Structure 1
Amino acid sequence: MVSHPANVADKIQQRQRASLLAIGTANPANCIRQDDYTDWYFRVTKSDHLHDLKTKMRRMCDRSGIKKRYFHHSERTILDHPVLLSGQQLPSLDARQDILATAVPELAAAAAKDAIAEWGRPASDITHLVVSTYSGAHMPGADLHLASLLGLGPSVCRTVLYLQGCTAGSSVLRVAKDIAENNPGARVLVACAELTLVFFRAPGSFPGTIAMQGHVRRRSERRRGRR
């Protein structure tokens, strides 16, 4: 462990503090109203015969307070990848990962471009990139693909946090704050991107499926923090 003497640390803190300069958000292209979601879900999963589960899920959706749901996946995605409905998790993992490998960085880029435009400076001025997602875990990672989509310079320092769950947003902002306050002139782009395809499966195929489909809403939202 390395630490500075108290007086040196105080001077550093007084000289440089992190600030949030712009925020951008983005949603996947496919949107379904909550009132229609139960019928859509049971139809595309070919599960309309499960009347009791459908009734239970409709009741959960009605009480959730959710108005709309945004998805990357569509009925076409499910038709093209029937393994997504499998009760076996591992056989569908490759298919999910293949889709998420490009979809997550693209969604993050849409929000990041919005934030960069609000910031009003060129993307080339970004010095650090911090990316977090629970939706997939690839190497090369979402951070590298996002940097390429945004045209960031090769000298950008990249950090990626995978599978942080609900703590991801606070974790990446903490990392970005530490970077900004300890690197003079740092401009840190933070991106958090989630897609519910990682959880999607047919009802009854996995314990808790109905609860996840009825209540879980992942807002795909990128946050940009820079000093």
Structure 2
Amino acid sequence: MKVKKRYLQLNEELFREHPEFLDPAAPTLQGKLAVVANTMPKLAAAAAVKALAEWGRPAGDITHLVFATSTSAQLPHIDLRIASLLVLNPTVQRTVIGFHGCSGSPTALRVAKDIAENNRGARVLVACADMWSVMDAYVVPDVVQRYGITGRALFGDGAGAVVVGADPQAPVERPILEMVSASQATVPGLDHALAVQITKCGLEYILEFGELAAQVGGNIERCLVDALSSLGIGSVGWNDLFWVVHPGGPMVMDGFAAALGLEPGKLAATRRVLSEYGNMTGPTLIFVLDEVIRRRRQGKEEASCEWGFMVGFGPGFTIETMALHACNGKSDTKTEE
């Protein structure tokens, strides 16, 4: 599995405007944050416009906005700009989820699920965006650590958005997947294996993929067994489910698949997203979710499964899991996306 394509905000024009970004010793954090503050709201809003169009109701009907990012830090935060660009109601209730890394979008979806279930009529816009190409604290090749090389070959920029609600209003709202249950578990003693530090030059990340892959393989089934048994759907094996899994990297995916004994095609959506977009950290799982939905509509292998799991990985080391149910049974997401 290779990363064939990535999309980056960083380009030659940006380097011409900010030549100091090429100096590994220059204190460029503030300049990089300013670039993100200017560009990220537009990227996130563009993703949100697509989600709102698929939802089918006016943007003014959104009651809550949950925004997740690990590559921005400012007050007021980017969520305010997003709300302004989308012309959301001034009474929209905004929540920012920061620095959850690759588990940004599943964390945001879990929060949105709780909001929708506990606020009658709530419609929650979840948006997630990251720009690692801009915020990376570049260092010269002879001192770059092994995880720095890997990360720079793996990470891309992107944004994704989803509308979450309960009790859909027919015929306008057509839910696709139901978020049945959500949980978070932390594997102790691994806070060193996936971490980010804020420096004067930007964000420096630590990625121990070998250790992470081993720990995913050793812990994921335990995290999923209780969630599966609580669904009350009888004897269902891991290959009877569809999977929305954050790619992490090839080693992490391989460890995940091996631990559960998954058939080769079960992570096809995850592998395609990694190949076509790279690891965008927070937004990536929304891309995988969209790919799974697309494949189900095309009648591919995921279409034969009524139940599935969303799985995200984050710093800590944190595992986010969410049980999903296809609203139209096997042919085609109480809280719906």
| TM-score bracket, shorter-length normalisation | 0.5 to 0.7
Q: Who is 2:161 aligned against?
A: 222
Equivalent residue number for residue 120 of structure 1: 56
Q: Deviations over 1:20-62 (max 9, x none)?
A: xxxxxxxxxxxxxxxxxxxxxxxxxxxxxxxxxxxxxxxxxxx
TM-score normalised according to structure 1 size: 0.67
Secondary structure (helix, strand or coil) at the match of 1:87 reads: coil
Given that 2:121 and 2:165 are in contact with CA atoms closer than 8 Å, whether structure 1 keeps it comes out as: no
Q: 1:151 corresponds to which letter in structure 2? A: V
Match of 2:96, SS state, is: strand
How many equivalent pairs are there?
A: 163
- Residue 152 of structure 1 is matched in structure 2 by 88
Query: Contact 1:126–1:189 at 8 Å: present in 2 too?
Result: yes
Contact 1:194 1:219 in 2 (8 A): yes
1:141 and 1:70 map into 2 onto residues whose CA distance is 24
Query: How big is the shift at 1:220?
Result: 3.0
Percent identity between matched residues is 43
Within 5 Å, which residues of 2 pair with 1:128-207? Answer: 128-196=64-132, 197-199=134-136, 201=138, 203-204=140-141, 206-207=144-145
How large is the RMSD of aligned CA atoms in angstroms?
1.8
Report what 2:4 is aligned to.
67
**1:4-23 residue pairs with structure 2 within 5 A?**
none
- SS of the counterpart of 1:221? strand
Q: Which residue is 1:43 aligned to?
A: none
Residue 212, structure 1, aligned to residue 151, structure 2: yes
- For the pair 1:98 / 2:34, whether they are aligned, the reply is yes
Post-superposition offset of 1:226: 2.9
| Compared CA separation, residues 122 and 78, structure 1 to 2 (3 A) | same
TM-score after normalising by structure 2 = 0.46
Q: Higher relative contact order at CA 8 Å, sep ≥6: structure 1 or structure 2?
A: 1
1:78 is paired with a residue of what secondary structure? helix
One-letter code aligned to 1:220: A
Moved more, 213-222 or 73-82: 213-222
Give a deviation string over 1:189-213, Cα, whole Å, max 9, x none: 0001111211262542643432221
Q: Could you tell which deviates more after superposition, 196-205 or 105-114?
A: 196-205
Q: Which has the higher helix share?
A: 1
Residue in structure 1 matched with residue 320 of structure 2 by the alignment:
none
Structure with greater strand share of residues? 2
Unaligned runs of 5+ in 1: 1-63
Residue 19 of structure 2 corresponds to which residue in structure 1?
82
Distance 1:77 1:218, change over 3 A: closer
SS at match of 2:6: strand
